[in-house]
Structure 1
C-alpha cells in the first residue's frame, strides 16, 4: 500500500515530461476561499515555509505538490565487499549513516535542487509572474514541485487559487469566474480527492469550498473537510458539531486544524512550534479533548495518505485499462503517418511511380463513379458532370426564348430591308435567315458556360484526389495538382473553340428542308388553329353576354374569324411544296387593284381577323366581290416568276398561289394585316427552327466536352505526370515530407514511449 503513491508520482513524472495531462491521475485538490488557511495547511503538512504570502490573491497558478517520504538516514559511503553488502542488507542504519537532507525540485528546472525553501518561495513567485503576469491574473498552466523529506508522508496535492467574490485593487473584474472555472477544472475529475478548507469563524453554510464540492460530489464520497482557525472562534462557540459531522455530513469526515496566526507568520514562528501548540490546544480544550486524536495536522497527513492510497487502489485498474487503450490508439495514429520518407520504401523511383499511378487511378475512378470514397452528402465526380449536362445546361437552353429581344418592328424592318428597292410579292427567305441567325447565337453563351462548369468540376476532382501516402509529400502533391491543372487548362480552349464552331456551323447554313422544320404550310396551319381558337373563345363570350349585340351566333362569321367551310377548304388546298417546306405570301399586282377595290370596300379586314382577309371568310367566296362578280383569271406576273429575291415558296399548286395572290392587298405599307401575318409567320418559323438547332446543340455540346476535355485528360493524365515529374533531379526534392507531419510523427512516437513507460510502471504496482 505504501508503494501506491510513489507509483502515481512516477506516473505523474512520466506524463509531465510530455507537458500534457493525458490521463486523470489520483491526487488531492485543495479548495478554499481567500484567507481560509489553505497555504498554512499545506505548509504544516510539509513542515516548511515555502509558499508566497501577501494580501489579495497570491496563488495565481495551480501548484502540483508531490511529497515524497525518504528515510531519515542514508547509508554512509564507505567501501564494502560484495559479501559484506549481502550480509548487511536490510540491517538498520548505523550511527555513521548520513541524514537525508530535505530537497525541493521544480519540473521546469530539472537540473537544479533547492535546499533553501526561501528560494523555493521566490521561484514560485517568478514562475507565476512569468506566465500569469503581475496584474493578479489567473493562469491554468500548473507549477510542478517535488519535495523529498523524511518528515512528510507520500502525498500528491494541488493547491488552487483561493475563491473570491469581489475584485480588489488591480484584480480583474471577472476574477470570481476565473477562479471558479479553474477550480471546477480540477475537482470535476472523478479521480481527484477534494480537500475542502473552511474557516471555523465563518458560518459553514457560507463555505464556498463545500458548496462547489457538493456540486461535483453530491454524495460526499471523495470530499474531506478541513476546518481551520478553530482557536479564533468567538467565546461560547465551538466546531464540535461540524467536526463530528452533525452539521454537514461527509463520508470522509472533517478534520480540525489550528494554524499559525498572521502575527506568528510575520514573526517567523517556526512551524514545529506551531504544530506543538496545535497538539496542546486539542488535548487541553475540554470541548475537543474527546476527539483530539482525530484533529491536528498529524492526523490530517495520515488520513490524506490513507484516503489517497485507497483511492489509488480503487482507480488503478481503470487507469491501467485507459493507458492500454491509449497505447493502442497512439500506435494506430503512428501507423497512419507512415514510415519516415524513403525509410523501408526500397527504390525511390518505384515509390515515385506508384504514387503517380495511385493518383491517376483515383482521378479516373472519381469520374467513373467506382471509387471507394464516394460521398453521400452531395454530387461529385462523374455524377456532377451528368447533372451539369442534363440539368443545369438543359435548363439554361430551355430558358432561352426563341424570339427573345425580337420585336415586331425588327421583323418588319428585316422583311423590308431584305427586299431591296423592289416591293415584295412574298415573305423573303432572306429575312427569315437574317432573323434566325442572331437567335441561334444565343445558344453560344450557355454552351461556353457548360464547358466552364465541367472544367471547374474536373478541378475539384483533381483537388480531392490523392491518397494519404501521397499527401505525406506536399511538394510532390502540389506538383501533381499543378500538372493536372495545366493539362485541364490546355484542353479548355480547344473545347470552347469547338463548341463555338458548333454554333457557327448551325448559323452558316439554314436548312429549311429539315424534316422537323414546320415550314410554310405548317406555319399557316398553326396560325389558322390559333385564329379558330380565338373565334371559339369569342363565340363562347358572345353566348354568355347577349348584350354584345349578336343574337344569332351564326352572325359571328360575318364579323370576324374564319368560317368552318372555308377553313376546311383552305386546310385541304394548302399542301407542302414537294421541294421546299417554306411559305409564299402573294403580292397583288397593280393591274388587278381596281378589280378588287369593291371587295375591299365591302369587307374591310380588322387587325385581329387577318386570316379572313387573306383566305376568304364569312359568306363571300370570291375575294369579297360578291356572287354576281366573276373572278378574273389572271396569270402570275412574270416579275414574280423571274424575281431573284430569295423567297419562301407556297406549298401547293398554282391555283392556290393565284387565289392567294389575288386576295392579297396592294402594299404592306398600307395593309397592317399583312404586316401582322408576316410577323406571326416569321415568329412561328423562327421558333420551329430554333427548337431544332437547340435540340442538336444540347446533344452535341456534352459529347464534345466529354471527348475533348474529360476523356482526353483521363487518357493522357498518367503519361503527362510521368513525362513531367519523373526526373532524377526532381525526385529527391519532391519526396521530402511535410515538416508538420514529421513533427506530428515525432510527437506521436514520444507519447507512445510515455504510455509504454506508464504501463510498465503501473504493471509493477502491488
Structure 2
C-alpha cells in the first residue's frame, strides 16, 4: 500500500463484506529479505505497526500473522471434524474386512509346530471340500464367465462325446462300399441268393472297433478338466508353495493312475461288444423288418420341435453392409431360422435342413476363428446366392454345442470332397456296376447295421460316462478325503512343507501393519472428536446490494461497493503548491457591473452606500471569494467520498488562502466603514441639503479600480 493510505474500511468488512471477514498482515519487503530480517523480528514489527497505527489500533487483536494462523487452524479443524464421519465409516469397513484375514493368521504362526500341523490339516480338508464342491456344483466361488469343473465334465459327456460318435458313425458312402465288398467276398466265386449273416457281423465289428477312439478322447478331456480343478482348488495354498506343489503332485499322480484304469476298462467294454452280436435284442429290427424298411425308404416325419436357440454371427453379408452381423437363430428338427433379436418378431430368413451337411471352417487373418458352415453336398445354393451358410460363435464351446444340436436335427458332418471322390472312384473300380439284387442286399445289411449300431452307441453313451465317473472322478475324490494326509506325512518332512514363501510372509506383515494402523487411526479420530471444539460458521453476509446494483447497471457492469473504500485510489486533486512556491493559475478579472443600490423590502430604509474606498475593498473581497469559488467546488467534490484524505490534503490550501485574503478583507472593511461614518457625520454637521434627500447618504463617484493583488 502507498504511504499515507489505509485499508480500514476493508478490514472492518464494510467495503466488500465476506462471511469470515478480512485479516491484515505485514509481509517482509525485499529490503527486509536482503537485510536478512528474521521471522521473529518481522512478527514483532507487524505487531508494533498494528498497535501504533491510528486506523488499525482498535482492531490490532484481530490483525497479524499469528491471528491468521489461529483462524486457519480453526477452519482446518472444522473441516477435519466434518469429514471424520465418512472417514471413520471407511476405516471401520476396512478393519472388518481385515479382521477375517488376521483371524486366519492366528493359526499360521511359523515358529509353532503344532500350528503348522493344524494348518496343514485345515488346508488339506479345505482342498478336499473345494474339489468336491467344484465337481458337485455347490461351490461358494461360482464362475460367471465360463464353464468349469462339473459343468464342463457334463458338457463333455453329453455334447462332445456324442458328437465324436456321430462323426465316426455316419460315413454313408464308405459304409455302403464296405458292405458291397464284403458281400461279394463272402459269395466269392458263387452267386449268392441270400443275404449272408457274415457280412452283417463283419461290418458291425468294424464299426464297433471305431468306438475306441471317441471313448479314449472323452477320457482325455475329462482328465484335463480334473487337472484344472486340482490346480484351481490348490490356489489357497499359495502361502506354502512346497505344500501346494506336493499336494498337486500326489493328486495328479492318482489321476494318471486312474486314467489308465479307465482307458483299460473302456477298451474292455468295446471288446465285450465285439465278442458277441446279440441279434435278439428287443430294439433290433431283424431281417424281416430290415427288408421291409429297404423297400420303403421314405423318411418318417416327426414333429417340428425346437432344439436350440441362441446368438450366432452370420458372415454371408455383403461388404457394403458390414460383412457380418449377429442374429438370433432358432434350430428346429426341420429348419433353421434367424431373427433380428430374441423377441422373434422380425424373421430374416429360414432354410430347410433336408440334405444339408456341416463342416468346420478355418478363419482367415481378419475373420472369426470359431466358425462352421452349413452346405448342400450337391452344390446347391443354401442361402440366396451362397452355396454355404457361414456362422460363428463367441467361443469354441458354444460352437461345439451348436454342432451337437445340429446332429440332433439330422445335419451331420461331411467328409472332405477329395475323400468322397476317392472313395467313389474306388467303389466303382471294386464293385463295378451293382445289380439290383446286390443293391437290395446292401440296403438290407445297411439297415441291420444301422439298427444294431444304434443299440451299441446307446450303450456306449451310457457306460462311458459312468465308467469315467466311477473309476476316475469319484475315486480321486475319495482319495483326497481319505489318503491325501497319509501320503503327505509319509513322503516329506512336515516342517519343510509348511515353510512360508517370502511373498506370503511380506503380505502377512503388511496386512498386520495395516490392521494396527487402522485401529490406531480410529482411536485418533475418537480423540479428535472428544478433545477439539468446532466453531460455527459465521452467518452469510447481505449480498442484496450486488443484485440491486446489477439491476441498476443492466447486468453488464461490475457491481460497485456499498460504501466508499479508503483503500482505493482517490480521484485527481487540484494542483498543490510545489516546493518552489508555484501559485494557483490566475483567472482574468471580470468587469464590475454598475448596479443600482437595492432598496429594503417593505419600504424600509435603503441600504447605505459606501464611498469609493469602501466599495473597492468590498469588490476586492468579492473577487477573492469568486476566485476561490471554483477551487472550493473542486475541493468539495473531491472531498465528498474521501473526507479524511481531502481534509489532510486541503489544509495547506485553506491556510494559504486565509493568510492571503485576510489583509485585503480587513483593509476593505476598514476603509468602507471609515467612509460611511465620515459621510454620515459630515451630513449632519452642515452639509448642503441639495446632496440628496434627508437621511440618505450620497453615493460617491466611482473610483479607479486598482490592479488585482496576488491572493496567494
TM-score by length of 2: 0.47
TM-score by length of 1: 0.44
Larger Rg: 2
